[in-house]
Amino acid sequence: MTQSTKFSTTRSEISGHAIKDLAERFGTPCYFYDAQTICDRIEQLRQFDVIRFAQKANSNLAVLDLVRRNGVVVDAVSSGEVFRAQKAGFDYTGTPSPIVYTADIFDREALDLVVENGLHVNVGSPDMIEQYGQRVPSGEITLRINPGFGHGHSAKTNTGGDSSKHGIWHEELDECLQLAAKYQVTVTGLHMHIGSGTDFEHLSQVCEAMKTTALKVGSTIRVISAGGGLPTPYRDSDVGLDVDRYYQLWDKTRKELEAEFGHAISLEIEPGRFLVAESGFLLTEIRAVKKMGKNLFYLVDAGFNNLARPILYGAYHPMSIAFSGGGSEETQPVIVGGPLCESGDIFTQEEGGFVCSRELPVAAVGDYLVIECAGAYGYVMSSNYNSKPFAAEVLLDGDSAHLIRRRQTPEDLVLGESIPAS
């Protein structure tokens, strides 16, 4: 099967910077993020009262600082993400909460951090209510509710329904409210996120489930969160988000609850991929062109240790070629793979591991391959598999290119390891 290519098959620049110059300056593989694209996506969501970035999509300090300076607050799913947010300039407390801790469990370190710093918590299990209430009686929490259904471009990105570990099962709401009352903990917010790529049919169901749940909780509710999962176009056939329609559905729900409760309710949105995916590019160099039976392979110097989405989800990323010298407009079907000692190290595959080809220009060793829409769940899911170093990261801001994370060195690979004395 041959996949279509979303963008031009030949790319010579990334956000106005010549690719050859970027490769020579920063090396490959390397991640680049366009600051203006991130700012543009933030502006698209300004109708919402609060934009809360799901930093698990891209947690580089420079990216967190950029969104903070543009009025965005953050969601943290670990004590490490709380630490990152604080290092990027976010306060622990405020209105709206600058950092919200969202998870399905408290590990001991995270619970201590929440208690010591007064962080607001979005709880995803009854046990979290018990553990929080014992430490913070009379505190305030948000409940993340699993409404009993979900949606996603992959089974692995579906965060609703009974096959998902996420959230409090909707039928356990009364039990959770009783548990909160036991410790005089007030439920001030509700959060629903059923997965990635939510369509409007599913969104309407989520809005209705949110309203039903809020009415059961009562007038202590001051915040409702629409969650994330906003769609990002990767293919020509993908349709971008109708932000106005998306907002109108949630705003209608919010207004109905305001009429019932007699007070204002803040409407939050929690984008991750939506803010950063299209800003990012993984720049790689073609290091081998080889024929395997009827298939032609471009093997590049980045692997699933750098970008795991294709091997995890069969995720599609647009690709383009930048020639190091002269180029050709002629194209051919190729399979794009990486350097790892692993058969699954293929960037052109579908969910289930089915390898497919991509129509790309005829290229040679030394030319550059750009993997596009790679700003979300790229670097953050990197590994040192095969003892490969983490790539560098660069923020492109107008005419400037800022190194925001250096490439790992061989010494970094063994940092913290030791051989027992004999």
Residue 27: partners with Cβ closer than 8 Å, 6 or more residues away: 392, 407
- Evaluate if pTM is beyond 0.75: yes
Q: What is the C-alpha to C-alpha distance for residues 195 and 51, in angstroms, rounded to an integer?
A: 18
> What share of the chain in percent tops pLDDT 70?
93
Given the structure tokens 């750009």, which residue do they identify?
370
Q: What is the C-alpha to C-alpha distance for residues 96 and 108, in angstroms, rounded to an integer?
A: 26
pLDDT at residue 398 above 80? yes
Contact 270, 75 (CB under 8 A): yes
The ranges of the chain annotated as CATH 2.40.37.10 are 2-31+277-406
Mean pLDDT of 201-213: 90
Give the residues across from 401 on adjacent strands: 396
pLDDT at residue 129 above 90? yes
DSSP 2: E
Q: What is the C-alpha to C-alpha distance for residues 259 and 254, in angstroms, rounded to an integer?
A: 9
pLDDT at position 159, please?
47
Provide the H-helix boundaries in 97-242: 108-117, 126-135, 173-182, 200-217
Tokens of residue 131, six digits: 């553990």
The ranges of the chain annotated as CATH 3.20.20.10 are 46-270
Tokens of residue 295, six digits: 């298939």
Q: What is the C-alpha to C-alpha distance for residues 284 and 29, in angstroms, rounded to an integer?
A: 5
CA distances in angstroms from 28 to 11, 284, 308, 392, listed in the order given: 16, 5, 17, 8
Mean pLDDT of 145-169: 64
Closest CA to 106 of 134, 125, 86, 83: 125
Residue 86, SS3 per DSSP: helix
H or E stretch at 102: strand 99-103
Cis amide linkage into residue 126, ω under 30° from 0: no
Contact 283, 28 (CB under 8 A): yes
- Which superfamily, per CATH, for 2-31+277-406? Lyase, Ornithine Decarboxylase; Chain A, domain 1 (2.40.37.10)
The one-letter amino acid code at 163 reads S
Contact 368, 27 (CB under 8 A): no
Closest CA to 68 of 31, 94, 32: 94
Cis amide linkage into residue 96, ω under 30° from 0: yes
So what's the architecture of 46-270 in CATH? Alpha-Beta Barrel (3.20)
Q: What is the C-alpha to C-alpha distance for residues 24 and 118, in angstroms, rounded to an integer?
A: 46
Mean pLDDT of 113-136: 98
Give the residues across from 370 on adjacent strands: 283, 320
Catalytic residues: 341
pLDDT tens by residue, 230-279: 888 899 888 888 999 999 999 999 999 999 999 999 999 999 999 999 99
